[in-house]
A = this chain, B = another copy of it.
Amino acid sequence: MDVVSFGETMIRLSPPNNLCLEQTHQLDVNVGGSELNVAVGVSRLGLESRWVSRLPNNSLGRMIRNKAREQGVDTSHIVWSDTDRCGLYFVEYGASPRSSSVLYDRADSAISKIKRGDVDWNKALAGARVFFVSGITPALSDSAAEVTMDALQAAKKAGCEVVCDLNYRARLWTGEKAREVQTPMMEYVDILSTTEEDTERVFGITAENYSEVAKILVDKFGFKAVTITLRTNLTVLTNKWTAICYADGKVYDDREYFLELVDRVGGGDNYTGGFIYGYLTTGDWEKAVQYGNANSALKQTIPGDLNWATLADVEKLVKGGSGLRIAR
């Protein structure tokens, strides 16, 4: 087992063809959530991954489990509930100047009612090299935060490296609450994957540029590495994307991708997934950033939160390819 993650995956419903949610008569069905997105990301590229969560034992919960399995992610440590509901969210695709938007309906989802002891973390993490969790999981409920802390401690005990994405969600908690809950968690984190914006909202850290932010984070929390993604919103349908990593006192960067966005949701998570893959397979921070960027850039051209790119697709970009020509 290479990577274990813990968090919520929701049923994701999106109107087709740029329709507004209010006007639509059909919804495309996908699933998504930061920690599963990461687990799928590394699984697609060839590593073994496991995703831990709590789901209702109904058609929607099983659909989420199935989609994880479809991508090769181990689901044997999911906790099943006979009574709770499945979190949902609605994604509406915009076009300039109409923003894309997300409407969450996740309150009281099964994972928000997870309790200490529901997961046997020693088993779930046995043999894992990396444990990943985002700041969303502890934001779901107090008990979810407790289980997150248990998982972090078990991960350290199991010898995992811990990767964390702050993933601040203003709908779930305030910046103050996020800081209060997450600060003690940072002690267990080895690699932080984040954005300048989240860093400011959670830890109040700002600086002249994002390399500087990364350095401050490393100094403050003692992380082994901090990687920060940078999205430039050219228009609603075209973006630029790149990232850096600060580690060993150095900044590692990469080319900037021009993106024709099909679905930007999951872009950050797939950066992290690619980064973990690159890190685990090469041990080279620069490669990690390159794999993260390529994996994220491809995902943003694919409908749904989950990535469907292959290792070959990613490596074509890592080697400098452009995708401009048709592949026959």
| Residues of A that sit less than 8 Å from B by CB | 13, 16-29, 58-60, 62-63, 66-67, 69-72, 85-86, 88, 90, 92, 94-105, 107-108, 169-171, 233, 235-237, 257-262, 264-265, 297-298, 301-304, 308-310, 313, 317, 321-328
Q: How far is the CA of A71 from the CA of B70 in the complex (A)?
A: 8
Q: How far is the CB of A93 from chain B (nearest CB, A)?
A: 9
Closest chain-B Cβ to A44's Cβ sits at a distance in Å of: 10
Structural contact, B171 and A328, CB atoms closer than 8 A: yes
How many copies the complex holds: the figure is: 6
- How distant is the Cα of A95 from the Cα of B69 in the complex, in angstroms? 27
Given A66-B71, A262-B95, A302-B105 contact (CB < 8 Å): no
Of chain B, the residue at the smallest CB distance from A312 is: B57
CA distance A136 to B124 in the complex (A): 40
Whether A98 and B302, one on each chain, are in contact in the complex, defined by CB atoms closer than 8 angstroms, is yes
Inter-chain contact B29/A90, CB cutoff 8 Å? no
The residues of B that contact A90 with a CB separation of less than 8 Å are 59-60
Check A29–B18 contact: CB distance below 8 A: no
Contact A323 B97 (CB under 8 A): yes
Q: Tell me which of B26, B69, B97 contacts A297 (CB under 8 A).
A: B97
CB-based contact B22/A301 at 8 Å: no
A21, B59: Cβ atoms closer than 8 Å = yes
CB closest residue in chain B, given A18: B262
Indicate which residue in B26, B99, B302, B321 contacts A26 across the interface (CB closer than 8 Å).
Answer: B26
Contact of A102 among B13, B29, B92, B327 (CB under 8 A): B327
B27 x A324 contact (CB < 8 A): no
Instruction: Look across to chain B and name the residue whose beta carbon is closest to the beta carbon of A102.
Output: B328
